[in-house]
Structure 1
């Protein structure tokens, strides 16, 4: 219940931002010995915008994922992806082909966002059902965004203040 409220507040703050850049990527997740794909959208600040689980990695899956993200978060100024052809086909169909950027290290923002998910995945000893994976991915993204305070950009004092404020807000939401 509180996860949706936190997400709504973050989305409403970001809608007015003009130079919004997205980074899109998909990763393999093992589900009962079968590989499924977790599609993720991350903004220019490293916040996870959207997570979507599919069994395929084709144009239709990319199109559903991008439609979901665009509907919820609005249209960005630029979308950075890896070289997967499904993105290009989906963006051509959506009419966003001019916003697409592909570069060798341009998509590191989203690649690094997978690391925290992988740590939790190992701690949970994998997933059993697609529904539980989707639910975990979306909740993990919201919790990660709440506590992602960009330690490398601020001094220790400011970081500690922000961390304690985030923890106090979390406790008030959880109680």
Structure 2
């Protein structure tokens, strides 16, 4: 509309059906490999006025592999994240 082109919702739906599969193929995550680099991050967040710890694992491309939110900060939670991540990925980077 900014450029003077009027497009109906039906046109948008048709474009989605026509080009949607191409976009999803490009957005799909590549398979994990042993050369991948993982970054682990820990952040304190406030939910409902209470402190929570957010642990997040991301790869070198910024794709979030897994995350976990806990009310307590302990090594069990960090280990739980890593064990779950290794099971999910199937191989160690």
Return the TM-score normalized by structure 1: 0.35
Note the alpha carbon deviations across 1:130-173, whole angstroms, 9 max, x for none.
xxxxxxxxxxxxxxxxxxxxxxxxxxxxxxxxxxxxxxxxxxxx
Greater RCO, 1 or 2 (C-alpha within 8 Å, sep 6+): 1
Runs of 4+ aligned residues of structure 1 deviating over 3 Å after TM superposition are none
Aligned to 1:44: 60
Aligned to 2:31: 14
Could you say which structure has the higher helix fraction?
1
Aligned to 1:76: 92
In structure 1, runs of 5+ residues without a counterpart are: 1-8, 78-175
Secondary structure, counterpart of 1:18 in structure 2? coil
In the TM superposition, 1:1-175 aligns within 5 A as 10=29, 13-15=30-32, 17-77=33-93
Is residue 21–residue 76 contact of structure 1 (8 Å, CA) maintained in 2? no
If you compute each CA radius of gyration, which structure gives the higher value, 1 or 2? Answer: 2
C-alpha RMSD over aligned residues: 1.5
Count of matched residue positions in the alignment of Structure 1 and Structure 2: 66
Q: CA deviation at 1:36?
A: 0.3
Return the TM-score normalized by structure 2: 0.63
Could you say which structure has the higher strand fraction?
2
